[in-house]
Amino acid sequence: MTDNIVKIRGLNKTFIRKTLITRHVEYIYAARNVNLDIPRDSFYGLVGETGSGKTTLGKLILRLIEPDSGSIIFDGIDVTRLSQREIRRIRPMFQVIFQNPQSALNPKQRVKQLIGNPIRFQKKLDSKSVEKEVFRLLDEVQLSAEMAEYFPHQLSGGQIQRVEIARALGLKPKLLVADEPVTSLDASIRGHILNLLLQLKKNREFTVLFIGHDLHIMEKMCDILSVMYKGEIVESGSVKQIFNAPTHKYTKKLVSMRYISD
Amino acid sequence: MSELLRIEDFSFSYRHRNTTISILKKLDILIFPGEVVGLVGESGSGKSTLAKAILRIPDFKYEVSYKGSIYLNGNDLMQLNDTQLDRIRGNEISIIFQDPLSYLNPMFTIHRQIKEVLKHHEIANGIVADEMIRRCLLNVSFNYPDRIMRSYPFELSGGMRQRIMICMAMITRPKLLIADEVTSSLDALIEKEILDNINRLCSDYGTSVLLISHNLPTILKYANRIAIIYFGHIVEIVHVNNAQKGARHPYTKALFSCALAKVKDGVFPFIEGSIPKPHDVIVGCPFHLRNCPRAIDACRTTLPEMESYDEGSFRCHNPYPVEG
Amino acid sequence: MSLFKRKTKLSEHTGVERFNLKFLIGGTGFIVLLLIAIFARQLAPRDPIAKFAESQAPSLGKNHLYLKNLSSEPVNIDELRIKIWYRGYKDEANEIILFRNAALQPGEQYNQTFKIRDIGNNGSINVKLTTIAGSDINLAYRFNCRIEDTGNNDGLLSSDLKMESFKNILFIKSGNSACEDYLPRHVFFGDYQGCKIVDHLRGHYILGTDSFERDIISRLIYATQPTILVALCAMIVSLLIGVPIGFLSGYFGGTTDKLLMRVSDTISAFPRFFLIISIVALWGQNILLITIAIGITGWMEPARFINVKVKTLIEQDYILSAVSTGRIWWRIMYHDLLPNILPHILVLAAYGASSAILLESTLSYINFGVREPLPSWGNMLANAFGTGAGSTGLERLWQVLFPGLAISIAVLMFNFLGDGVQKSIGNEDE
């Protein structure tokens, strides 16, 4: 039996949107009876198109959004039943990397604050050891030490993503939710970040939930893949299984659309 | 075969705080009738600027200057005045942008917006126009064109809006369609639908397409020839069948392996360094700064000239040899 | 590549410009106003409350009067006399005829001494200078002086104190028409009703006097004190209330948001001026209360603005990631939200201060704010239409001009400051 770090059972989340003038109520099913098991130390992929609810599922696991019903068991703890105070204590265990480099980092903070503040507030270290840790992390994500003084607007997209990774890893998480970390990056930069993620994954022990839509990348990054469609997990399985023998109609369509390079 | 569009020695720059920032540098592109030319580049390479520069769509923020010439069937577009150009915009050359919502007037119905185009170019009016619109909407795979005609842009989804834009662009049966990142914000399935629509309509009407995208797999699927743009230079123009193996320029090779995620020994391919910003000044070939594997001394000092061979052209001092 | 180089290059490209012209002008203006308010005592040439007459009152005992003909023609003076009333002690008048039927040659000076008696604690002396029979120069009628207790209550003071004011006033009368008044403000307009008055005081009364013969420039300078005090303190009060409310309601949303925003809506529904006047009417009229009244009626706008701003900011990924690191809410507010909202708060502060200045001036104008005789630009405006303000439009304009200009400039400076900060935010957003 495999050890699952995240166990999701019967998770539901519906957003209600009212149209502007007529106040007509629309229901958007972001998660419909989602069951998901993420094995410990795996590289788990979540594929789906815009509006399929994959980002919402990521936020639900992080409990940035409250679910309507269902349970999320993270490392043996039911996250959905914790109070705000309790959840804050275990938040460092699951970290997130966001998609959009423009809004991912606080524009008013320097890189050293961005990476150092979470460590400082969570671990209550003195500023000297925080600084040391920041430089170590910068080195780990292959950024030069002088970047510590930079503001986000002085960094390129790839560098911002590295800072994000450093910020997330500074808290030594057990689960890293990577929400489309390379979608907004250019093709020639993407490889850096993906390699870095793979390398960090090798060096440290943590689980990655990789949310994305680019099948070329997902195929090579992930061990296990889940396909999400309109709030439902339509298919789960190992990468090989999904790509070679898809069962669900939607998955078949998705896999067939890949550009197969020669 | 005579070409439809000939971009010759074309440069584009704008002035910003007493510094001239040149975006496009001496471009040469030919587009033949009925052909789909893909233009691939990374952010800041100037591909969207080219789309707007062909039709001289004004940028009100800066003072811009054009150099060189763009011939459409032998007429230099750069010599035309605004009234003459207005007749060409949307009629002979149509353009579709990435974000359709900002190009559709939110207060008009779809019917009125499309009819406006027909009226402007004096193509049709009244019932004839209505019938044209209906047929065109059917052509872009709307099953109930009458319902679509009555609706407003905000009632439609992103993919539907983009199809409306295609309808608006194609209803005049243009000779050239410029599709500027039309599917960047859309999902793979919708992207396929949209590009299939464009492809089908264009081959029906004999329209050439300049398909601009940063997404190489898309371009590979739909284009006949691919132009790769880097730092305002066209670095290579290559035929799609030959694209992956026969690419001569090192940037093209590197970009292909990056975009298609050709993993070697568990390592994703990437290009060293960062993408140059438009305001950077680079001496020599711009790609030598990114650890070009075939860089020689000449690359650091002089910009290579465009060199043609039978299947395309490239701009490199030390290109990869032709295989086989 | 050095850090500095990179920064400049970036600013060239993105147009980030922290200090623009408007910001510089506004900031300089603000600092100048602040300095004027702090050093008003040193800057003002004289007491803003003291009337001209009082400051120029003849002293007890021996006074000297000098008359000099400054014209190129000889001047005939029929009669010049000084009439002194003693009030309170025993109503009596003492008239001294200085000279009669005299002709002053060009450049000739006439000296005369006269005495003023001490009349004890509770009295006032009116001095009247009369030239021609039947037509007084109403200078003296304004010389309403209170005599302080000098410790010597019996009889005349035979000291050789000089009548400073008279020493300074040299005038020439030409023709027969009456010279009614020659207070310094008229000096500015030169030839006045046939009297050509030359006033050496001109150097001191730069802008002349107002209808109560008080120095306009001194009042203008002193009036910056209540203005700046009200502008800054009211703005701080409104931000101290509004910013936390905006932060809390924006951050927590839901019921908190609804409740706080309904309260702010309800207060906003009343006209602000009415609220201020009600507060002033309830608890009395002093500068502190006015400041607080302007402050606590002005927090709704900042609260609403910050609320919206916070709501958009907490959607940003970096706030979500701060939440996901397990940071407590007040730390998120202080470390992550506040630095991003601070420039907006500065803009709100600048605009709040400028509207506070306007409100304070309006209140003072209707005599609800800073009260006479304390100077404020608002009540200085009001004085221009009071009794004795002068009969001609030019005279009234003279009194409206400077306080009006001062209000406009102060408001403009604060608006510039706000615009400047706003512009640099806008550039950053680009």
CB contact under 8 A, C12 and B279: yes
Tally of structural domains, chain A: 1
Which residues of chain A neighbour B214 with C-beta distances below 8 Å?
186-187
Task: Locate the domains of chain C by residue range.
Answer: 3-43+217-429, 52-211
| CA of C247 vs chain A CAs: smallest distance (Å) | 17
Whole-angstrom Cα distance, residue B159 to residue B148?
A: 13
Nearest chain A Cα to B185, which residue? A50
Task: Please give the residue of chain C at the shortest CA–CA distance from B279.
Answer: C13
Q: Which residue in B279, B281, B289 has the most chain C C-beta atoms within 10 A of its own C-beta, making it the best mutation to test that interface?
A: B279
Check which CATH number belongs to the domain holding A218 and give it: 3.40.50.300
* pLDDT for position C143: 30
Question: Phi first, then psi: what are they for B184, rounded to 5°?
Answer: -60, -35
Q: How far apart are CA C71 and CA C174, in angstroms?
A: 9
Any CB–CB contact under 8 A between C5 and chain B? Answer: no
Interface of A with C in 179-238 (CB under 8 A): none
Maximum Cα interatomic distance, chain A, rounded to a whole number of Å: 58
Mutate to test the interface with A, among C18, C313, C318 (most CBs of A within 10 A): C318
pLDDT for C188 equals 34
Mean pLDDT of B152-175: 90
Strands (E), C31-132: 61-68, 75-87, 92-104, 109-116, 124-132
Amino acid at B179: A
Q: Closest chain C residue to A119 measured between Cα atoms?
A: C325
Residue A15 in domain: yes
| Residue in B closest to A159 by C-alpha | B274
A192 located within any domain: yes
pLDDT at B31 over 70: yes
Say if CB C306 and CB C341 are below 8 A apart: yes
Task: Identify all chain B residues contacting A159, using CB atoms and an 8 Å cutoff.
Answer: 274
Backbone φ and ψ for C228, nearest 5 degrees, come out as -65, -40
Residue among C3, C10, C339 minimizing CB distance to A149: C3
Radius of gyration of chain A (CA): 19
Taking 50 as the pLDDT cut, the residues of chain C under it are 1-16, 53-59, 89, 120-123, 128-203, 430
- Please tell me the number of Cα atoms within 13 Å of C278 on its side-chain side: 8
pLDDT, one tens digit per residue, over A65-77 is 889 999 999 888 8
Closest Cα in chain C, distance from residue B22 (Å): 13
Other CB atoms within 10 A of residue C253 CB = 14
Closest Cα in chain B, distance from residue A194 (Å): 7
Question: Could you tell me which of B28, B36, B23, B82 has the C-alpha nearest to residue B55?
Answer: B82
Q: Which of A55-64, B46-55, C367-376, C399-408 is predicted with the least confidence, judged by mean pLDDT?
A: C367-376
Quick check: A163 and A105 in contact, CB under 8 A?
yes
What is the C-alpha to C-alpha distance for residues B114 and C365, in angstroms, rounded to an integer? Answer: 61
Look at C318 and A121 and tell me if their CB atoms are within 8 Å: no
Q: Do residue A106 and residue C317 have CB atoms under 8 angstroms apart? A: no
Which residues from chain A sit within 8 angstroms of residue B190, using beta carbons?
49
Residue B276: pLDDT band (50, 70, 90) is: confident
C-beta separation of C226 from C373 below 8 A: no
- Mutation target among C12, C16, C17, C20 for the B interface, most CBs of B within 10 A: C12
pLDDT class for B11, splitting at 50, 70, 90? very high
**The tokens of B120 are what?**
């402007």
Is A65 part of the contact surface with chain C (CB cutoff 8 Å)? no
Size of interface B-C (CB pairs under 8 A): 9
Interface residue B135 vs chain C (CB under 8 A) = no
Residues of C with CB below 8 A from B277's CB?
Answer: 13
Nearest CA in chain C to B280: C9
3-state SS string for A17-77: EECCCCCCEEEEEEEEEEEEEEECCCEEEEECCCCCCHHHHHHHHCCCCCCCEEEEEECCE
Which residues of chain C lie closer than 8 angstroms to B16, CB-CB? 12-13
Q: Which of A99, A122, A150 is opposite residue C326, by nearest beta carbon?
A: A122
Task: Say what the pTM is.
Answer: 0.77
Q: Which residue of A has its CA nearest to B193?
A: A257
> Using one digit for the tens of pLDDT, what is the confidence trace for B295-322?
888 888 888 888 888 878 999 998 888 8
Overall average pLDDT of the A51-58 stretch: 87
Measured CA angle at C187 (ends C185, C192), to 5 deg: 105
C57-67 pLDDT, tens digit per residue, is 444 555 555 55
Q: Cα–Cα distance between A241 and A219 in angstroms, integer?
A: 11
Whether residue C407 contacts residue C358, with contact meaning beta carbons closer than 8 Å, is answered with yes
Residues of C in contact with B19 (CB under 8 A): 12
User: With contact defined as beta carbons under 8 Å apart, do B93 and B72 qualify?
Assistant: yes
What is the pLDDT, as a whole number, of residue C175? Answer: 29
Determine whether the interchain pair C12/B277 forms a contact, defined as Cβ–Cβ distance below 8 Å: no
- State the chains in contact with A (3 or more Cβ–Cβ pairs under 8 Å): B, C
Tell me whether A82 touches chain B (CB under 8 Å): no
Q: Which residues of A touch C336 (CB under 8 A)?
A: 106, 109
SS3 B223: coil
Q: Does A188 touch chain B (CB under 8 A)?
A: yes
Taking residue B251's Cβ as centre, other Cβ atoms within 10 Å add up to 27
Binding-face residues of C in 294-353 toward A, CB within 8 A? 316-328, 331, 335-336, 339-340
Q: Within a domain: residue A261? A: no
DSSP state of C173: -
Q: What CATH number has the domain spanning C3-43+217-429?
A: 1.10.3720.10
Give pLDDT tens digits for A180-238: 888 888 888 888 899 999 999 988 889 999 998 888 888 888 999 999 988 899 999 99
Q: Say which of C319, C331, C339 has its CB closest to residue A108.
A: C339
Q: Which residue has the higher pLDDT, A118 or C46?
A: A118
C414-to-C273, C291, C300, C365 alpha-carbon distances in Å = 21, 17, 20, 21
Domain span at residue A140? 4-256
Between CA A116 and CA B219 the distance in angstroms is: 43
DSSP codes, C229-271: HHHHHHHHHHHHHHHHHHHHHHHH-HHHHHHHHHHHHHHHHS-
Task: Give the pLDDT score at A205.
Answer: 87
pLDDT score of A51 more than 70: yes
Residue position matching structure tokens 């492809």: B199
Q: Which residue has the higher pLDDT, A256 or C156?
A: A256
Q: What is the length of chain C?
A: 430
A191 and B192 within 8 Å at the Cβ level: the answer is no
Question: Is residue B273 predicted with pLDDT exceeding 80?
Answer: yes
Determine, for residues A257 and B268 on separate chains, whether the beta-carbon distance falls below 8 Å: no
Q: pLDDT tens across B60-116, in order?
A: 677 888 899 999 988 898 888 888 888 888 889 999 988 888 888 889 999 999 998
- Residue A92 touches chain C, beta carbons under 8 Å: yes
Q: What is the rounded average pLDDT of the residues B184-200?
A: 87
Cα Rg of chain B, angstroms: 21
